[in-house]
Amino acid sequence: MKKITLTILVLSITLSSFACPFCGCGVGNFYLGLLPDFQKRFIGLRYQYLPYQTHIKGDETQFSKDYYHTIELWGGISLGKKWQILGFIPYQINYQKTDDGIKKMSGISDVSALANYKLLDKTKMGEGRSTAQQLWIGGGIKMPTGKYHIDPNNPNTELGDVNSQAGTGSIDFLLNSSYNLRFNKIGINTSATYKINTKNNEDYQFGNRFNASSFVFYAARMKSATLSPNIGLLYQHSATNHFNNTKVDFTGGHLAMAAAGIELGLRKITIGGNVQLPFSQSFAAGQTEAKTRAMIHMSFSF
């Protein structure tokens, strides 16, 4: 996008009308997803791909194609029968192709930690039937370990740079819950997370984010493996961003997606992934569009 001098005086006005992508959906994402079936501890790697495209209404020569790649080391440990601790260390690779050229940024993103408590754990066995359900609730914190720096007085700074940082520069808080229900080989996993964002040192505050997902899966057991195809729905809502306590226009929005994936369990190893196809969304008055996403992962329980 065209270079604009970012001074404190004009930022709150121009930022609302000229940013690519407007919504800032690629930075500060937190994805919990399906947890591996572990008893004591696990460690794993996963990769997420999030693409967006922006075209300015009234001037199609101004555009941005944004590709967010996240490679994440994550793991968990059980503490007794009721508690589990989860940790996430993401590495962010951002690639932007705009009418002004190509921009790249990569580095360690914001590290997160969660503590979950098992509120419900019931299992019923019958003649050829088994029913199990679990309910986990918890919370955590996201630390500003990822690089975030915008110089509002630098004439070479672009407004879209706010959305292309490795992190958000803020300490944020996480709330989450997860409910699992299994009936024989069929199961349903439903989870929700709410991320409460605070201001960073530059008085920029990303909007709070709500994510929910529900997946239905079928566990087909083989000799030494379990193959579990799954389908589901995902929804996310991002509130409006603020700068100096003033709303930033064209930020926030919602996204609903259908997903299909598969999980392969080989004793202590789990491999899987899914594809997420948006079917309803609203970002930047229709100027920014989320494209098909993908996620793959591998974990080891021990």
Which pLDDT band, with edges at 50, 70 and 90, does 142 fall under? very high
- What CA–CA distance (Å, rounded) separates 283 from 141? 27
Whole-prediction pTM value? 0.87
Across 78-92, 120-134, 139-153, the highest mean pLDDT is recorded for: 78-92
pLDDT more than 90, % of the chain: 67
Please say whether the beta carbons of 93 and 71 come within 8 A: yes
Q: Which domains does the chain have, with CATH numbers?
A: 8-301 (2.40.128.130)
pLDDT more than 70, % of the chain: 87
Range list of β-strands (E), 80-159: 83-98, 101-108, 112-126, 129-142
Please give the structure tokens belonging to residue 33. Answer: 């997803």
- What CA–CA distance (Å, rounded) separates 216 from 242? 37
Quick one: which of 15, 19, 130, 124 has its CA closest to 66? Answer: 19
For residue 10, pLDDT beyond 90: no
- What CA–CA distance (Å, rounded) separates 119 from 116? 9
Quick one: which of 43, 35, 42, 30 has its CA closest to 70? Answer: 30
Average of per-residue pLDDT across 138-167: 78
- What CA–CA distance (Å, rounded) separates 40 from 263? 20
- What CA–CA distance (Å, rounded) separates 212 from 26? 17
More confident residue, 163 or 141: 141
Q: Would you state the pLDDT for residue 6? A: 35
Q: Would you state the pLDDT for residue 56? A: 87
For residue 297, pLDDT beyond 80: yes
What are the Cα distances from residue 128, in Å, to 70, 121, 125, 131, 220?
Answer: 43, 20, 8, 10, 16
